[in-house]
């Protein structure tokens, strides 16, 4: 393990109150009819995935997301009255579903810190896509509260869960979460989620539970092979995520990014891999299956995924929108400002007006930061004013 240097922390610039102007057609009732063609953006990308942050709080202080030097005891979180209520979230999600959204992921902060989250999940589970199918409803968590809540989440209608885990070595993991939380408790939470039925996808197949590992060069790259060996053959899909320049507080530098191709090569040399087809349009992870002796994918051994948003941008088919915990709509993970939907929700706007506004916002979207980053000088994006991951969700 490399010895890490003193963290480079950029002071937080609070962008939570910043909002972009709503489209001029926002309050023209019926400007976009309910049965109109589903919107695509300026690059032809449809709206299929909505990620909803339900809280800006987290009980971990991972240095790549909420470094303790910034998010300390004096940090001011959003007051509860500023957060969207469960009813407001459900109303908004229903309108997004009417515009083509098929998948909703609940995020944070740490979403399980939101009190009575099962009530929201139960409401969202009643929604349907434009085709009449249930939404794909999932949640990302650090696992700290998952063991005690897994059964209730499943009973409420949660279908799948993704657990963040950045290594199996207890010392490495405690150092990265920076609150001395033990890795054994996260592993126990994963077992509890599987026992509750959160490891089965919509078709009834294993693979519904995913584990995400952020790889930061000089910090935890030595955990790649132990993680791959541990989850091989378990039915759990392990995904390796390149350390990203989200927000402005983690002191991101390009030389701390371990390219996904290096991760794949490392695992392939130990456990042969074969590339698999994408599971769905707009999928962020490149899939690699463990191979059998004949060089073909062994389904029993499972697969891994790599998310290469730094070195191999996938903006061209990104179909995701993000809703912050206080109701701002963001069109890119690397955005600096969002559109204030809460003002419409609480200002008496009709469903038709809000749906029209969302559709017009999406139709004007041309975000492709990760593709543009590839043409920048190294570290050009470091310290850029952008919304924090803890506020917008991953």
The secondary structure of 217-242 as a DSSP string is TTTTGGGHHHHHHHHTTTTPEEEEEE
The 3-state DSSP class for residue 216 equals strand
Element spanning 147, H or E: helix 146-156
Section 151-162 average pLDDT: 97
The 3-state DSSP class for residue 269 equals helix
Question: Residue 385's pLDDT band (boundaries 50, 70, 90)?
Answer: low
Q: What is the pLDDT of residue 373?
A: 59
220-248: pLDDT as tens digits: 999 999 999 999 999 999 999 998 765 55
32-61: pLDDT as tens digits: 443 457 999 999 999 999 999 999 999 999
Which segments of 14-115 does DSSP mark as H helices, in order?
86-98
The 3-state DSSP class for residue 171 equals helix
Find tokens 């102007």 and name the residue: 21
* CA 256 to each of CA 59, 112, 357, 393: distance values in angstroms, whole numbers, following the listed order: 25, 30, 40, 22
**Lowest mean pLDDT across 44-53, 155-164, 252-261, 284-293:** 252-261
When the pLDDT of each residue in the chain is averaged and rounded to a whole number, the result is 86
Q: What is the pLDDT of residue 254?
A: 79
Q: Identify each DSSP E strand in 220-364 by its residue range.
A: 237-242, 273-275, 286-290, 303-307, 320-323, 328-330, 338-340
Section 370-383 average pLDDT: 55
Element spanning 160, H or E: strand 160-164
Domains parsed from the chain with CATH numbers: 19-392 (3.20.20.70)
* CA 169 to each of CA 16, 183, 263, 295, 310: distance values in angstroms, whole numbers, following the listed order: 36, 7, 18, 31, 26
Distance of CA 258 to the CA centre of its chain: 20
Question: Residue 12's pLDDT band (boundaries 50, 70, 90)?
Answer: very low
Contact 150, 186 (CB under 8 A): no
Element spanning 357, H or E: helix 351-363
Q: Is the pLDDT of residue 357 over 80?
A: yes
Q: Is the pLDDT of residue 367 over 80?
A: no
Q: Residue 47 has which token pair?
A: 């709206």
Question: Residue 2's pLDDT band (boundaries 50, 70, 90)?
Answer: very low
Q: What percent of the chain has pLDDT over 70?
A: 80
Q: Is residue 69 exposed (0-12), middle (13-18) or buried (19+ Cβ within 10 Å)?
A: middle
Q: Is the pLDDT of residue 206 over 80?
A: no
Which segments of the chain does DSSP mark as H helices, in order?
86-98, 117-124, 146-156, 170-177, 183-195, 224-231, 260-270, 341-345, 351-363, 369-373, 389-392
Question: Residue 199's pLDDT band (boundaries 50, 70, 90)?
Answer: confident
Q: What is the pLDDT of residue 13?
A: 40
Q: Residue 339 has which token pair?
A: 């559109």
Q: What percent of the chain has pLDDT over 90?
A: 67
Contact 308, 283 (CB under 8 A): no
Section 263-279 average pLDDT: 95
Axis-axis angle for helices 117-124, 86-98 (nearest 10) = 30
Q: What is the pLDDT of residue 34?
A: 39
286-324: pLDDT as tens digits: 999 999 999 999 999 999 999 987 777 667 888 999 999
Q: What is the pLDDT of residue 332?
A: 85
Cis peptide before 109 (omega within 30 of 0): yes
Q: Is the pLDDT of residue 347 over 50?
A: yes
* CA 95 to each of CA 56, 341, 350: distance values in angstroms, whole numbers, following the listed order: 23, 12, 11
Q: pTM of the full predicted structure?
A: 0.86
Contact 73, 23 (CB under 8 A): no
In terms of residues, how long is the chain? 394
């Amino acid at each position: 393990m490399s010895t890490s240097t003193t963290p480079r922390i950029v002071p937080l610039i609070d962008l939570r109150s910043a909002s972009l102007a709503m489209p001029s057609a926002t309050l023209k009732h019926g400007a976009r009819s309910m049965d109109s063609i589903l919107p695509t953006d300026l690059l032809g990308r449809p709206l299929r995935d909505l990620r909803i942050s339900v809280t800006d709080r987290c009980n971990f202080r991972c240095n790549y997301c909420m470094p303790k030097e910034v998010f300390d005891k004096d940090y001011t979180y959003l007051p509860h009255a500023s957060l969207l209520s469960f009813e407001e979230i459900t109303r908004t999600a229903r309108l997004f579903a009417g515009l083509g959204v098929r998948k909703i992921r609940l995020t944070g902060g740490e979403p399980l810190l939101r009190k009575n989250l099962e009530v929201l999940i139960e409401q969202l589970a009643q929604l349907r896509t434009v085709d009449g199918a249930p939404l794909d409803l999932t949640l990302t968590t650090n696992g700290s509260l998952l063991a005690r809540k897994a059964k209730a989440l499943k009973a409420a209608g949660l279908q799948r869960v993704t657990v963040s885990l950045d290594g199996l070595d207890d010392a490495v993991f405690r150092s990265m979460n920076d609150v001395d939380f033990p890795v054994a408790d996260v592993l126990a939470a994963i077992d509890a989620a599987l026992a509750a039925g959160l490891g089965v996808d919509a078709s009834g197949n294993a693979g519904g539970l995913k584990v995400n590992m952020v790889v930061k060069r000089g910090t935890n790259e030595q955990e790649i092979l132990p993680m791959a060996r541990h989850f091989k053959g378990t039915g759990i899909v392990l995904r390796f995520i390149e350390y990203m320049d989200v927000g402005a507080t983690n002191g991101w530098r390009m030389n701390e990014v371990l390219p996904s191709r290096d991760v794949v090569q490392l695992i392939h040399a130990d456990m042969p891999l074969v590339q698999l087809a994408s599971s769905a349009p707009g999928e962020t992870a490149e899939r690699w299956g463990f191979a059998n002796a004949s060089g073909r994918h062994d389904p029993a051994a499972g697969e891994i995924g790599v998310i290469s948003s730094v070195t191999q941008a996938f903006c061209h088919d990104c179909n995701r929108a993000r809703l912050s915990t206080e109701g701002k709509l963001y069109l890119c993970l690397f955005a600096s400002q969002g559109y204030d939907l809460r003002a419409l929700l609480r200002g008496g706007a009709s469903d038709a007006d809000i749906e029209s506004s969302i559709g017009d916002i999406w139709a004007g979207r041309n975000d492709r930061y990760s593709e543009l980053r590839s043409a920048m000088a190294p570290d050009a994006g470091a310290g850029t004013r952008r919304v924090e991951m803890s506020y917008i969700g991953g």
